[in-house]
A = this chain, B = another copy of it.
């Protein structure tokens, strides 16, 4: 069934496939950081795989923020990459920035806002650098880094146990700090969000925290780019109070947005510039 003109390149059967790819990606990072620059062709030859495979590796490593993509290959981002840089390299950057820009415009100078962890909310923090006076409380390391040198913004870190994966804080310390504060607005991120059940996360600890965050604020926004809508990847859910607002990007299918409208959720669809793009409501 397959064309047999397949090049007879003596690829041989690699004994273990999964660990092979994992090892290869580590090696790619190592090579790139030591030589500074590595080409796709070079890497394909060195590991005896096709260029497509290398490109997939580079795409993933780039999304993880461990490499920077160049035209014919990849380069190491020097030592400790700037948070803003890693952020921009990450996936769906345009959509996230658009969402962040719209969200930033909702914040009125003088307010106190609460920011969740996550890259989209981190982008919002970056936009809020120019809003002052402003008090920002957050459970996300990304947001703190974005505002670390914004002299005019008052930053409160809620503390807690650092989740390395999401770069956010959770746990009793976070909840105890939250219970002592209320906010004008809260901006929540999500691994996934549905109209009926709300926010879906990997751990119950995260969903409990998000529910608490939502309770402490007057207005609740969920920032989720298009691919986050309607999926059910995990089994921990955070129910949201009535009257919350979903902010997503114009890559969202109408069919993905409709259930939220039907459920009475205010939905805002924005383009990459942060302007409302969808049907007015």
Contacts and interface: CB of A to CB of B under 8 A. Distances in A.
B37 A85 contact: yes
A202 interface: no
Contact of A141 (B144, B177, B180): B144
A160 interface: yes
A104 to B, nearest CB: 16
Interface residues of A, number: 44
B151 A36 contact: no
A164 B173 CA distance: 22
Contacts of A88: 35-37
B161 A155 contact: yes
A158 interface: yes
A43 to B, nearest CB: 14
Interface string A69-109: 11100011111111011001100000000000000000000
A148 B167 contact: yes
A71 B84 CA distance: 18
A97 to B, nearest CB: 10
Interface in A119-153: 141, 144-145, 147-151
Which one of A89, A159, A173, A177 has the greatest number of beta carbons of chain B within 10 Å?
A159
Total copies of this chain within the assembly:
2
Contact of A80 (B71, B76, B82): B82
Contacts of A150: 164
Contacts of A80: 79, 82, 145
A82 B36 contact: yes
Contacts of A180: 173
A185 to B, nearest CB: 19
Interface in A31-68: 35-37, 68
A28 to B, nearest CB: 15
Contacts of A149: 82, 84-85, 164
A95 to B, nearest CB: 14
Contact of A162 (B81, B156, B174, B177): B156
Given A69-B71, A156-B162, 6 more contacts: A36-B82, A78-B79, A141-B145, A148-B162, A149-B164, A156-B173
21 contacts: A35-B88, A37-B88, A37-B89, A68-B68, A68-B70, A69-B70, A70-B75, A71-B71, A77-B78, A80-B145, A82-B149, A156-B160, A157-B159, A157-B161, A158-B173, A159-B160, A159-B169, A159-B174, A173-B180, A176-B176, A176-B177
